[in-house]
Amino acid sequence: MESLTDYYAFWAIYILAGLLGFWCWGKMAFWVKERGAAYHIYSAVGAVIIFTPVPVPDASIEVLSPGFIAVPFALISDGLAGLEQFVPWFSVAAGIALIVTLVGLIAGLAPKPDEQQKDRTTATRPAKKTASVKGNPFR
């Protein structure tokens, strides 16, 4: 890392890429018919996995890295014992995500099942009758 400004620029790029990844995470649940509590908890888990920062182990200066990238490297280098330093970070992030999700569900911010069904069904209008085409219209 050359400078502190590069560090912040990389994090800005990562957050933008993380938003794209979180959108893809939501699209992986295309089969969900009603977006109830399970769907919102699934979304919260995706946010925790993608956006939780953790400190870089054995770094000369205090820097953070994306958790889902640092965890596999810690597993490779230190085994399961290397994961102990990440547990508080992921626990706090999961707790915040769960609280935000539950408050959103209790406050009624999630769409109601009948509203979801109404959004999916579109009124079908009968097609207009038009005059038949004589000959080849594509000449």
Quick: pLDDT tens for 75-85: 998 888 888 98
Count of other CB atoms within 10 angstroms of residue 48: 21
What does the alpha-carbon distance between residue 56 and residue 42 come to, in Å, rounded to a whole number? 27
Question: Which amino acid does the sequence have at 39?
Answer: Y
Query: Structural domain tally of the chain?
Result: 1
Q: What is the pTM of this model?
A: 0.67
**54 strand-pairing partners:** 65
Kindly state the tokens that stand for 76.
Answer: 């490779």
Q: Does 122 map to a domain?
A: no
Q: Kindly report, residue by residue over 93-138, the tens digit of the pLDDT.
A: 999 999 998 898 888 876 666 555 555 555 567 777 777 767 776 7
Full domain range(s) for residue 38:
4-113
The verdict on residue 50 lying in a domain is yes
